Structure 1
């Protein structure tokens, strides 16, 4: 029986697939029936603290926390009851958090680490949630396997379907803010449901699959991972341990999403290969990936997918299938105008949150992505960000084009282009580069310069070769923090 869009997905599986494993948190396993119980218990706790006269669609739960079972429960509960899940990066500075909290303007804030609350200049009362009490009930059930079996079978019979309103808003996720203050993007469950269905076309998820949550829930990629998995009735894996080959093997992970830094680290381990793992699909996103690493991934037998997506489109828009050719996924629509990509479809967000209200946009409206690209017969090619393009001596420079050529050079692990001021040309090109061996930077730069001289026209060749900032050496963010590079240029007198 297929899951219907107007049914709570957790309750659905709790009724029809109660014994299936929904969540694996290190050594703790939770079935869909148990997950349903946890959500009901969490709802009871929160209802004692939330003004019940407030319409559900205006109850905004600001959550400042890293990935964990607590945050995941908050996400799924908001889908169930129609509240707005508003996750925020706990690594933000107090100023960054305060700016976003000011936009959300909510009296309901849950902070994972209570000691961090004092640094936030907000008078909002904090939600008090006893997660230990919630989880202790599961531990008590697990102490007797007979009791667990009895409870599950009895409860599954008495559970009734739980209807939800798929058109009602269920989350607010902020964009990265790479080109100005981040926007507060609002989705409804319908957006995520069709996002999951479209993703299934190239990356099928089934009940026996295990999907590792390796991306943060405050990013649309992490949020979508959870709902894709739950809608499919598969198992979400949460872990407090570093991402290693041993962890992937131990938990028999079948699906995982990686950014470039994570992939590079895994490829450094010779045991990272398809024959010695259960991995069926590797989704790659967030930044450019070098040809060397993609070739190595394929040579080790992995089925990989490059992905182009956005917060506005509930994660994936176009995805490749063991190649670099991006295919527009079902339920998404794309067109280009003057080189810029415009997006709409079933997965497109419903509006922006500002001035204490959801400002909806028309269902048929196309939204400018800010990305440049070409589209031919549902095949999408990405040129780069419109706001990163700059002019040097009258010529358009697209940084991503140069970065892609750099990544084709075997020893380059990461590359990032910035414009620098130039008296003659207005702006010229600075290249930040990370080589696989940091002990011979000057020699590597000379060889890379020679390589780029053969691959790029002269006005696209970098003038300055700069070492990758140390603070980004182990960066696992989905997007490169542009300000770090600008600060480095400023220190070197190049701005």
Structure 2
């Protein structure tokens, strides 16, 4: 790999590169144990030998159905080392959903810490076990080799499996870290699931920089955030963390919070970012970043320091972005190798540019996202972009998350309905009439009549998922089952 691509000339696997240069420096921690780069390299080789002993061969596909854990990290690295490919599946998916995903992917092996008979009986289940190889694993470092499959969010239709190589992942890391300050000695919390591109990107930023990765118990996020310098979060998570720090310090001065918090930089996503939150974070010594990205581009495409503007910043290195007839098109070193279908990798597009179906505009040198082309609906002859309504709703002080969907209407064809999450009302109960009336009055002042939601419902808790991206398709199915 040329040094000009990522800034670092990896001539071998990244963990071996760092083991050769900084063998004794801490690389990985699970909150209890720590591993140096030399120990990481040795462990990965042992686990790779264990996979080989179980029959896993180069270019075969290993499905991983598991939440984040130190075992998941070891397995991902070992699968790469042996020249095989991995795909992460959401462990919260139902057994029929998992069976269908595995069938479509034609997986060769399965790894899960909690085997489900309906799923596991259909595929060879492998173990994570280390072995001293009789002969070293000899698969060479090849930056272009397909390594990871990541399912798109599947907001409409079946999710696609996006294939990335080390080159695309490392280029993604290099571009973001040209802006964010993540150095050897810093530690990034693996706070997002590895089956999502945002979680996978954290892993590759660690491998690119040769810094530290922390894998902690997801049940106590705030405690884990006290141990790290970097994290990827949604605004509500940061808000709750800062509130707890302020409470624990018993003093709202910035010096008191800084004495408690190691956290230096946070990459925020998933929702509109309140200016008050970023100001509070800055007082605690935390710089907040926001951006725009997608699975096909190995995560982040544009980024900036979060501010009062609703824009998502400028294009990062190794990426290109243009707007054609209102739609965002992208290309660059981070663009995926293709989609995985029938055991083959098919190109994303017939040309070098990839059509994202996201709508955007440039204003004052900054990209503004206007929504998804396939989310738009027509109400009374008017085009309605639900994301523009959601952005207004998120400015209401009681609203923490909002999704707007169309429902059939005999007069207008379709009308918008808002599903919201709020911290002032319990998620398992209907919204109070007083809050609904307040929202109706608020929206009447903010948007034209055809864009005002005709009803407000609480976001169903079981569909909120991992706080990264909610499936509009699943929400639409749930909404159709409700009697409005």
TM-score (norm 2): 0.88
Deviation of 1:294 (Å): 4.0
Deviates more, 1:274-283 or 1:480-489: 480-489
Partner of 2:124: 125
Tell me the alpha carbon deviations over residues 380-439 of structure 1, each in whole angstroms, 9 at most, x when there is no partner.
110111221111111111111111111112222222211111111111111122333228
Q: Is the 8 A contact 2:293 2:301 kept in 1?
A: yes
Partner of 2:330: 343
Tell me the alpha carbon deviations over residues 193-238 of structure 1, each in whole angstroms, 9 at most, x when there is no partner.
1111101121121111010000000001111101111210111000
Q: Is the 8 A contact 1:435 1:444 kept in 2?
A: no
Distance 1:383 1:123 in 2: 43
Partner of 2:472: 482
Deviation of 1:46 (Å): 1.1
Computed over aligned residues only, the root mean square deviation of the Cα atoms, in angstroms, reads: 2.6
Partner of 2:407: 420
Which residue, 36, 40, 45 being the options, matches 2:45?
40
Distance 1:238 1:197 in 2: 22
Q: Is the 8 A contact 1:190 1:346 kept in 2?
A: yes
CA separation of 1:305/1:81 partners in 2, compared to 1, >3 Å: closer, same or farther? same
Corresponding position: 1:287 with 2:271: yes
Partner of 1:492: 482
SS, match of residue 91 in structure 1: coil
Partner of 1:263: 238
Q: Is the 8 A contact 1:103 1:356 kept in 2?
A: no
CA separation of 1:88/1:290 partners in 2, compared to 1, >3 Å: closer, same or farther? same
Distance 2:419 2:147 in 1: 40
SS, match of residue 242 in structure 1: helix
**1:224-373 paired onto structure 2 within 5 Å:** 224-249=201-226, 251=227, 253-271=228-246, 273-274=257-258, 276-323=260-307, 324=309, 325=311, 326-361=313-348, 365-373=352-360
Deviation of 1:461 (Å): 1.4
Deviates more, 1:210-219 or 1:440-449: 440-449
CA separation of 1:484/1:165 partners in 2, compared to 1, >3 Å: closer, same or farther? closer
**1:12-411 paired onto structure 2 within 5 Å:** 12-50=17-55, 56=58, 58-114=59-115, 116=116, 118-120=117-119, 123-130=122-129, 164-249=141-226, 251=227, 253-271=228-246, 273-274=257-258, 276-323=260-307, 324=309, 325=311, 326-361=313-348, 365-375=352-362, 379-411=366-398
Deviation of 1:162 (Å): 9.1
Deviation of 1:99 (Å): 1.6
Distance 2:462 2:87 in 1: 28
Q: Is the 8 A contact 2:261 2:284 kept in 1?
A: no
Deviation of 1:51 (Å): 5.8
Distance 1:245 1:281 in 2: 15
Which residue, 440, 453, 468 being the options, matches 2:444?
453
SS, match of residue 312 in structure 1: helix
Deviation of 1:363 (Å): 9.4
Distance 2:371 2:148 in 1: 28
Distance 1:360 1:387 in 2: 21
Structure 2: runs of 5+ lacking an equivalent: 248-256
Deviation of 1:275 (Å): 5.0
Instruction: Report the number of matched residues.
Output: 460
SS, match of residue 271 in structure 1: helix
Partner of 1:145: none
Q: Is the 8 A contact 2:110 2:120 kept in 1?
A: no
Deviation of 1:123 (Å): 3.0
Deviation of 1:301 (Å): 4.1
Deviation of 1:361 (Å): 4.9
